Structure 1
Amino acid sequence: MKLVIAERDDKEREAIRWLVSAYSLPIERVYTAATVEEMMAVLERETPELLYVELDMIPYERWPQATAHVRLFCQRVIAVTAEATFARAKQAIDWQCIDLLVKPLEPARLKQALRAAASRSPGRPGLPTGLDAHHDDYRSLFCDFPSAASAHVWLVQAEQPALSQEVIRFLTDYPFRGRARVLPLTEMAVCLLFDLPGDGKEEAWKLLRDWEEDHHEPLAVVAMPPDGRRTVRAQYQAARRLLETTFFIGYRQVIAPASECEQWRELDPFLTPEEQRQWIEMLERFDHEAVKRWLQREFSHWAPPFPSPEMVRTRLTSILAQIRRFMKTYRLDRGGTEREYMRIFQEILYHPVLYRIVQELILFLYRLFHEAKQAAEDARVDPVERGLRYMEAHFRDPSLTLERVAAAAGRSPAYFSHLLSKKRGVTFRQWLTNRRLEEAKRLLRQTDLSIKEIAEQTGFRTAHYLTRVFKAELNETPTAYRDEQRLKPSSPR
């Protein structure tokens, strides 16, 4: 077995090489790479059975090319990262990694991952068993071969990933009109069709009907007709983008090229302060209908150009953060309710269709309201969380006092202050100042409001008072902070 270690740190590379030799694994040859370019060159030259790769070393703009090389030239991947984030986890999932390790590495954990990788059944690197004859067809998906541009390119995917192999079997046996190549990928299949008349949509609908004769789960087909201006690779990349629109329109669809779907439109993924207040009030009132109307208005009836599905998922997690605070207020962040919350979180991250995520979220909120009412009746409400929710909703009011917050929490001012310091490690005044400053910093970064207007919107009585507090806490003026932030380069999306 061949192993490629793609890692930026010299000492890390040598340590992993030494561990591989010390563990007596069935690895005969080890190659190393310090850059993504070196990694791709070694993969192409050696076609190793196993790749150990530091995901952080791959720049955003090189990710598609690195993905193509990994899928084409390597069977098994162990990924490692220093950033335990959703983005890294999604990258590991996209590559179907055997494991995702988080630095600093534990030798025993690495040993376990290497053993699991070494025990996998061997096959042709980068290609599913039995598809050697289609090697050049696979290459056409990742390299620009103008001679192959006369084919129809279809992407076929089931809504349920578990059915991927069943879809591949169905397509392999399907009586396509004329010559066809079926190229299985991780969770979908590419069909290259060479003799179809017209745009191929009628044939694609026939395929969907034939599938549904024996299957209940829906399919989606992206049907890209030949385009003399585009190679198969360009058609495939455009089809991948179109396939993502199933998040909004659902499956059981034949999706044709559409210029309005080629670019995502902008969407602020985070709730505005006004939206946060709306959610706090709806949750506090146990307002089933208001919650349902808000979610349906926000996430139903989408029309192209669509926003990025990842931005929509992030927006849903922003709502989930408000729900989490509500759960803590009523001490529901445990047991079965906590498990249900985590299930909804997973649905938001991974479910392929938006309207089903929203349905699940609405049903969860209905159950949560019922449990919260019961908790309120049982007098199990956390006074600190209730007070914090009140403070979050009213911190922009310059007349907000400890007495008002304590009354909302159902405790005396002295006792609430004691509980807040004990549980959160801050005084009422410290929390209020910090929250107002955070909001002031956000407005300085994202708006052109004057310092006076920002002071009015964040609970500071005057621009002078905002400046004084800003300098005391951050050692600079609001104007200097704004100028400094605007000089920073924007992060790539």
Structure 2
Amino acid sequence: MTALKIVIAERDKNESIAIEWLIATYSIPVDEVFIAHTVKETVTLLEKEMPDLLYLELDMISNENLPLVRRNVNKYSPKTIAVTAEATFERAKQAIGLGCVDLLVKPLDPVNINQSIRMALSLASKRDSIPSSSAANDEEEYSYRSLFIDRDLNHGDIGLMLLHPENNKKLADLYKFSKYFSFRETPILLPLSDMVVCLFREPTHHLREEAWKVLKDWEATHMDPLAAVIIPPNHVHKTIHDMYLSARRLLDITFFIGYSQVILPNEAYDSWHEIDPFLTSVEQREWVEMLNNFDKQKIKHTMHQEFLQMETPFPNPEKLRIRLTSILAQVRRFMKIYQLDQGEMEEHYMRIFSEILFNRVLYRIVQEMLLFLYELLDRSNTGEVFSKKDVIERGILYIENHYADPDLTLQKVADAVGRSPAYFSHLLMKKQGVSFRQQLANKRVEEAKQLLTGTELSIKEVAEQAGFRHPSYFTKLFKEITTMAPREYREHMRNKT
């Protein structure tokens, strides 16, 4: 077998060392590794070593050097993995222009690097043995090029599913989940910096049912919401690029309807309803009056009526964000009057400003904003120090008495203590430093510990009595909190005695 060579072209010396270490640790079948920290060194190594694989940091290449790099990559034809810290369309175009087999976005996941390098080396090892016609077919395989360049035609037999986690930190988990999910037809998976795109090459007419199954299976083992956008096989979109752009546009609808949804093309979603994002002088006076009268109910009614009772076509999300900041400007004036624009309340104000700018779901922004306004009014009026204490203590007692109910929710606890779910959750976090989910999970795990050490119940029975509907989720959560699996914990505790 011919020795396989790789050139790692990376400015950061620590990162290049890390990639070299990863190749050795994962036993990736590379015989020789060469390191370059500049474009000049990269070109020299390409000419001298003619490597099978080039790991190339795009950010090190200036616009004037790009043609030089492209010529040498084309001349020596190494399989190329592009890496960038900038998840932009411009970087994607550069990667496509270089004929890259993959584009990775920093910060990098070792698992993804391993998979990408192995895939590229597999292609490199086969390139000399594959007939030219087959090689041409490989070049036609749907890939990132299909998403970003308006080239690959859609003949009506391609389906697209876009999976988007509300929490971006779950993207690596989502990609791993998608790789092992039992799709009826295996899709091409194209992970991006904020989503996973699935392309189905076979005629597929059950994508909606498939997407709901993905959401159900994901939420059975993960606590973070997920949305799926579906573009079924059709002749409306002329290219795969068109399908991808339509899916990204539909993803904006989650701002209004939330996650845990499957979204399909709908005429009502085709355009935004135009609104004036700024408060009129009359609306400004109304907000001043509501704040000065400490009128929580009217503020809540106004916020719900304006922002949570919308019908299609929806307004542009960015204009709604501007409108919310316009309201926040009136709140700022109120804070200055009562000298609350400092310390803890100032920090809370800045958090709300950040929520308005970056939170992906409108009703979450409204909830957080109302909580802030309630606390602001309490601080500027009479406060509720003692009642807050009683509310939290009663809520915790309710959790301790009802943790075994798998249907126990924040809503039920909040109803029991006479507060809104969002307000009770806020007070719980403020006093206990944990969320409702964390409080409930901790209680259930503590009870499970007692059952594991004091009974002969099976793991499934322990999970049920502790309030878990799914034993697999119980095991996962128990290990996260205790660092041991339930069976391991039982044996450990019995050995201690």
Task: State the SS of the aligned residue for 1:182.
Answer: strand
- Aligned equivalents of 1:341 and 1:250: distance in 2? 24
Task: State the SS of the aligned residue for 2:184.
Answer: coil
2:93 to 56, 59, 69: 69
* Aligned 8 A contact 2:83 2:106 in 1: no
Following TM superposition, by how much is the alpha carbon of 1:167 offset from its aligned partner in structure 2, in angstroms? 0.7
Cα 1:65–1:211 shift into 2, 3 Å: closer
What does residue 308 of structure 1 align with? 316
What does residue 128 of structure 2 align with? none
Task: State the SS of the aligned residue for 2:367.
Answer: helix
Following TM superposition, by how much is the alpha carbon of 1:320 offset from its aligned partner in structure 2, in angstroms? 1.0
What does residue 27 of structure 1 align with? 38
What does residue 317 of structure 1 align with? 325
* Aligned 8 A contact 2:161 2:207 in 1: no
Calculate the TM-score normalised by the size of structure 1: 0.54
Q: Deviations over 1:125-165 (max 9, x none)?
A: 9x966664798511110122116763210100111111111
- Which amino acid is the alignment partner of residue 330 of structure 1? Y
What does residue 207 of structure 2 align with? 200
2:228 to 221, 244, 251: 221
Q: Deviations over 1:400-429 (max 9, x none)?
A: xxxxxxxxxxxxxxxxxxxxxxxxxxxxxx
- Aligned equivalents of 2:313 and 2:106: distance in 1? 32
Following TM superposition, by how much is the alpha carbon of 1:205 offset from its aligned partner in structure 2, in angstroms? 1.0
What does residue 408 of structure 1 align with? none
* Aligned 8 A contact 1:178 1:196 in 2: no
Task: State the SS of the aligned residue for 1:157.
Answer: strand
Cα 1:148–1:228 shift into 2, 3 Å: closer
Q: Deviations over 1:35-91 (max 9, x none)?
A: xxx98x7897678978799xxxxxxxxx985364267579xxxxxxxxxxxxxxxxx
* Aligned 8 A contact 1:177 1:196 in 2: no
- Which amino acid is the alignment partner of residue 242 of structure 1? L
1:161 to 156, 165, 168: 168
- Which amino acid is the alignment partner of residue 213 of structure 1? A
The runs of 5 or more residues in structure 1 that have no matched partner are: 4-24, 54-62, 75-94, 99-119, 376-493
Cα 1:369–1:174 shift into 2, 3 Å: same
Task: State the SS of the aligned residue for 1:326.
Answer: helix
* Aligned 8 A contact 2:81 2:116 in 1: no
In the alignment, structure 1 residue 171 sits paired with structure 2 residue 178: yes
The runs of 5 or more residues in structure 2 that have no matched partner are: 1-8, 12-35, 41-59, 74-79, 99-103, 124-137, 384-497
What does residue 140 of structure 1 align with? 146
* Aligned 8 A contact 2:163 2:227 in 1: yes
Cα 1:340–1:234 shift into 2, 3 Å: same
The percent of aligned pairs where both chains have the same amino acid is: 39
1:327 to 326, 335, 348: 335
Following TM superposition, by how much is the alpha carbon of 1:200 offset from its aligned partner in structure 2, in angstroms? 1.6
Following TM superposition, by how much is the alpha carbon of 1:197 offset from its aligned partner in structure 2, in angstroms? 3.7
In the alignment, structure 1 residue 252 sits paired with structure 2 residue 276: no
Task: State the SS of the aligned residue for 1:286.
Answer: coil
Q: Deviations over 1:271-299 (max 9, x none)?
A: 11111111111111111111111111110
Q: Deviations over 1:265-324 (max 9, x none)?
A: 212111111111111111111111111111111101222221221111111111111111
Cα 1:319–1:243 shift into 2, 3 Å: same
1:368 to 372, 376, 390: 376
Output aligned runs, 1:4-403, within 5 Å.
26-29=37-40, 32-33=62-63, 66=90, 68-69=92-93, 132=120, 136-143=142-149, 144-146=151-153, 150-195=157-202, 197-230=204-237, 231-373=239-381
* Aligned 8 A contact 1:156 1:188 in 2: yes
- Aligned equivalents of 1:43 and 1:313: distance in 2? 43
Cα 1:356–1:96 shift into 2, 3 Å: farther
Cα 1:346–1:128 shift into 2, 3 Å: farther
* Aligned 8 A contact 1:156 1:189 in 2: yes
- Which amino acid is the alignment partner of residue 317 of structure 1? T
- Aligned equivalents of 1:319 and 1:238: distance in 2? 32
- Aligned equivalents of 2:333 and 2:142: distance in 1? 54
Following TM superposition, by how much is the alpha carbon of 1:228 offset from its aligned partner in structure 2, in angstroms? 2.3
* Aligned 8 A contact 2:272 2:316 in 1: yes
- Aligned equivalents of 1:214 and 1:121: distance in 2? 21
